[in-house]
Structure 1
Amino acid sequence: MNRYPLLEIDRNVIRRNAGILLRECRKRGVEPFAVLKGFNAIPEIRDALLEAGYKTLASSRLPHLAAVKEAGLPVKTLGLRIPMLSEAADVVKLCDISLNSEIETMRALDRAAETADVVHNVILMRDLGDLREGIFDSREFIETAVYIERELKNLRLYGAGTNLTCYGSVIPTAENLSLLSADAMKIEEVIGRELEVVSGGGTTSIPLMMSGGMPKKINNLRIGEANVVPCDFIERGQCPIEGLSNRGLVLKAEIIEIGEKPTHPIGKLGTNCFGSYVHYEDRGVAAARCWP
């Protein structure tokens, strides 16, 4: 007898999704990283992404990357979350690359890398208006990049990046990603070499890439959702890519109550069970919400 709720995983579907997306990215000069956090780095799914051809695995959770290292997988690891100062030694040990924006944190990473006798790769993050993480001012961003290159001897300025469609819901466009592209080129001019990575966001940047609007300097995306459940592409028609399927993960549950009730509560209203005041729209009588 099955116990519910039940999560069904189809590795073949996920591997096929990942392969399709890798092919579409590489056709356009983009080498993506696979993000593990959305499925809690379940090994069966992680390994399906490797079989599809991903060369770098990324997560905001260090235990996910520790498991990659412990498994001896032949890939690079990327720490997606800006490190805490207290994590510097662990980040240097578990992450080949990390996203960063704070000078003080990068100094701590530099010291930890010296202690560990390694060179740690850094992608410096630029805030283009989504207000998640990153340096907001262009001049400060470029100056910080040059400081990393010239002063932090145990860090390597691996690239520049940004986050979009996260805290602030800002959609990736040719206009905002051109700001990152322009800053990356200015950094390269000052330091006298090319950056390995200019990372233009994640899954939500794929429609721009597919439409041909991605600035040419952008050569990386950090893809999680689209590999596993590309719902936004398929159901909303934002980015139809032939062959993608939402059947990689299927959550099954049993209905324990069904019927029709008014859509507006009856009686004097206060806070709900979460301590919030909620506005209810009266839509007449409809099927009741089913609680698992």
Structure 2
Amino acid sequence: MKFPRLVISLKKIEENAKKVLDMLNKHNIELVAVTKLVLGDPKIAKTLKDVGIQKIGESRLDNIEKMIKNKISGPFQLLRIPMLSELDKAVLLVDEILISDETTALKIDEIAQKYDKNIELIYMIDVGDLREGVWFENACKTIENIAKKLKMAKLSGIGTNVGCFGGILPTKDNLNTLVGIKKYLDDKLNTNLKISGGSTVTLKLIESGELPEKINQFRIGEGILLGTDATGHRDIPYLSQNTVILEAEVIEVDYKPSVPVGKIGRDSMGRIPEFEDKGWRKRIILAIGEQDIDPNGLKPFDKRLEVLHASSDHTIIDYTESEVNYKIGDILKFKLSYGAALRAFTSPFVKKIYQ
């Protein structure tokens, strides 16, 4: 067997997907299953489609192209605002595009006319997180004016993103801001726009009964794929967190001081490390590093392990408090944070196997 590796439980991902889909269906909310974490992995995408999820959301056109080549059917939603240089490809490959700018919207419309392709646009609105989108106070007139210029492309909805940059949580108040903008635009444009206002962190508002009823599309990846909510800082209790397990091999076992000897500068990543003096400690080195994972996102199965630090290709762990007498060649198992999983799926040095 080759290590490090991700052991991916398609069955548990399927179970998570079905639970989320059933929850959203009860509230008449469309689920867009997001595959960017797993780079549009066709096996995982097929699992999502097989439970009845209709629409796949992706940030990168290469991943969408890979799914199509592996017979994963759309519709596809392009999550990241597209670059002008990729708009031809985007219009040909996807069905729904998130946008936030007039230049992009009108160029998509022009290309859609060229290919005679119906394409739907969701205009993103910034309700405070400071990532993409027109500022909410300017949204009504801005979006109205752009929608009236479209000839082939269709404004099908408005949306927002929270949590990913500013850490802003979704609330009844900031989502009701979208409801008010929708009402204005529907009146002015004679439309019935969808509101793509939910992600994994927004599931909490469904659980508490606080979600405004006009919110009718969620874009969810992390909750289904990992059973976690990074922005809400929780394991989602009704979903499995045993979907993706990292296995890494021990390449050194030793007994060393807990504080380096000599003048401390910066580490290999340019950071100034800090150390607590705990005396001499038992340590493990794993054959995996920051090129493959975020060490801060490793969650050991052995709860008595302490992940100390990592360089590009080594991860150092304190096992002094563990009851296990580790040796070279042993395999350690970890659950992963979203950030650690993202890097592991992206790394070509981490093998992916499926169960």
TM-score by length of 2: 0.75
CA distance in 1, matches of 2:184, 2:75: 27
Partner amino acid, structure 2, of 1:26: N
* More deviation, 197-206/160-169: 197-206
Cα shift readout 1:33-90 (whole Å, capped 9, x = no counterpart): 0011101111111100001111100110101112333345443101011011111111
Evaluate the alpha carbon distance shift between residue 120 and residue 144 of structure 1 in structure 2; reply closer, same or farther with a 3 A threshold: farther
Partner amino acid, structure 1, of 2:200: T
* Pair 1:222-2:219 in alignment: yes
Cα shift readout 1:207-231 (whole Å, capped 9, x = no counterpart): 1222111111111110101111113
What is the root-mean-square deviation in Å for CA atoms of aligned residues? 2.0
Look up the match of 2:201. Answer: 204
Partner amino acid, structure 2, of 1:206: L
Q: Where do 1:156-195 residues align within 5 Å?
A: 156-195=154-193
Look up the match of 1:62. Answer: 61
CA distance in 2, matches of 1:77, 1:237: 29
* Pair 1:150-2:148 in alignment: yes
Aligned 8 A contact 1:148 1:157 in 2 = no
Partner amino acid, structure 2, of 1:25: L
Cα shift readout 1:175-226 (whole Å, capped 9, x = no counterpart): 211112221221112111211x201131111112221111111111101011
* Pair 1:282-2:276 in alignment: yes
Aligned 8 A contact 1:57 1:77 in 2 = yes
Aligned 8 A contact 2:33 2:56 in 1 = yes
Aligned 8 A contact 2:252 2:285 in 1 = yes
Partner amino acid, structure 2, of 1:5: P
Q: Where do 1:235-274 residues align within 5 Å?
A: 237=234, 239-241=236-238, 244-274=239-269
Which sections of structure 1, spanning at least 5 residues, go unmatched?
A: none
Cα shift readout 1:97-142 (whole Å, capped 9, x = no counterpart): 010001111111111111111121100000111111101142x322
How many residue pairs align between the two structures? 285
Structure that is richer in strand per residue: 2
Cα shift readout 1:129-158 (whole Å, capped 9, x = no counterpart): 1111101142x3222322333211111001
CA distance in 2, matches of 1:191, 1:271: 58
Residue 282 of structure 1, CA deviation: 1.5
Partner amino acid, structure 2, of 1:220: Q
* More deviation, 25-34/61-70: 61-70
Partner amino acid, structure 2, of 1:183: I
Evaluate the alpha carbon distance shift between residue 10 and residue 184 of structure 1 in structure 2; reply closer, same or farther with a 3 A threshold: same
Look up the match of 1:45. Answer: 44
TM-score by length of 1: 0.90
Larger Rg: 2
* More deviation, 98-107/68-77: 68-77
Which sections of structure 2, spanning at least 5 residues, go unmatched?
A: 288-355
Structure that is richer in helix per residue: 1
